[in-house]
Structure 1
Amino acid sequence: MATVSPQETDSAPSDQPWTYTLRLPNDPRAARIARVTLRAVLSGHGMAELAETAELLTSELVTNAIRHSDGPAQLRLRHLCESRLRVSIWDTNPTIPAPFDTPPGRLDRLTALAEAAAKADDTHGRGLLIVRLCADNWGGYPLADDLFGISGKLLWFELTPLRSSFDIAA
């Protein structure tokens, strides 16, 4: 009788690209579902060291997508070369919030730190600021009405395991 046992898997991240996509309804529970999915994917691919920062930033973008659009949202997780993770959030609202409507500049982190100091007592409106402070790269672009039958916008950020984003935000 043959015996089957699970093979040992290497928990180190692979250099092979992968992509996961999750469609989210316009529901307040969507951010939690996105975080749980993200943690499972990163753990499964040996990228658990990115999980805390990725969860925080994903939660901010999904919450904004649900709050500021009427339709569903979509989460896309992509492993890029050199253990880089790109998280994208699509929603049906075509308005790209500033400063995601322009590419980040060399001094954007300093600008974001100054904004954070100015908004220290605010109780809302800091989600995209957190993304700017913690992500290695970020951006956004509109999606045309005729592109694959969808419209709206896509906001994204990238993380690499080489940098501690929480140190910058703290």
Structure 2
Amino acid sequence: MHHAHTPGPRAPTRPHIGEGPVLAGVPHQDIHRIAGPWILPSDPEACRRARTVVRAVLADWALDHLTHTAELLVSELVGNALLHAEGPFHLTVESRTLLRCRVEDGSRQHPCRRTAALDDEHGRGLELVHLMSSDWGVDHTPLGKAVWFDLG
């Protein structure tokens, strides 16, 4: 089920960031990898940079089979942030059982899925995220929100 999350007793908004595999802290749990956060520019270059980062991280983690979908969906989230939110923008990529990509921005306004008319130039991004991801949602952060999706 795809839904937006509200704050609750969850992991910190910005966990300790490390390069490569790190133990998640619970014995016998899967290896938890976190890369980022990367600061993205407040211009269209942000989408290209986000795709480049995702491609490189997934290659390093031997998750190449998720690359095309992850690139498309992260580009949609970054594009939405550029159109509808305020910076700074940050991208974080995590892998445990599922791959999670998070795009943080400085706006508290939640994105809305909608049905675009045939001739609309915008309005299809979150529908793609909804259809192509395992799950997606929105978390409040101290400075705004983080929109994320999972692939697995």
TM range, normalised to the smaller chain?
A: 0.7 to 0.9
* Correspondence 1:89 to 2:103: yes
Match of 2:34 in 1: 19
3-state SS, counterpart of residue 33 of structure 1: helix
Tell me which stretches of 4 or more aligned residues in structure 1 moved more than 6 Å.
none
2:90 to 66, 74, 78: 74
Structure 1: gaps (5+ residues): 1-14, 100-111, 145-150, 161-170
Structure 2 counterpart of 1:18, which letter? R
* Correspondence 1:98 to 2:90: no
Match of 1:29 in 2: 45
| Structure whose CA Rg is larger | 1
Match of 1:125 in 2: 123
Measured after TM superposition, the shift of residue 132 of structure 1 is 0.3
Structure 2 counterpart of 1:134, which letter? M
Measured after TM superposition, the shift of residue 96 of structure 1 is 0.6
Q: Going by fraction, where is helix more abundant, 1 or 2?
A: 1
3-state SS, counterpart of residue 122 of structure 1: coil
Calculate the TM-score normalised by the size of structure 1.
Answer: 0.67
Calculate the TM-score normalised by the size of structure 2.
Answer: 0.74
Match of 1:155 in 2: 147
Check the 8 A contact 1:88/1:157 in 2, yes or no.
yes
Q: CA RMSD in A?
A: 1.6
Structure 2 counterpart of 1:85, which letter? L
Q: What is the rounded CA distance, in whole Å, between the counterparts of 1:41 and 1:128 in structure 2?
A: 23
Q: 1:49 to 1:120 in 2, by over 3 A?
A: farther
Q: What is the rounded CA distance, in whole Å, between the counterparts of 1:138 and 1:61 in structure 2?
A: 11
Check the 8 A contact 1:61/1:155 in 2, yes or no.
yes
1:102-161 residue CA offsets vs partner (Å, 9 max, x unmatched): xxxxxxxxxx8xx4xx644432111111100100111102224xxxxxx1111100001x
Check the 8 A contact 1:140/1:156 in 2, yes or no.
yes
3-state SS, counterpart of residue 48 of structure 2: helix
Structure 1 counterpart of 2:126, which letter? L
Count of residues paired in the alignment: 122
1:12-40 residue CA offsets vs partner (Å, 9 max, x unmatched): xxx52111111112121001001011001
Check the 8 A contact 1:39/1:55 in 2, yes or no.
yes
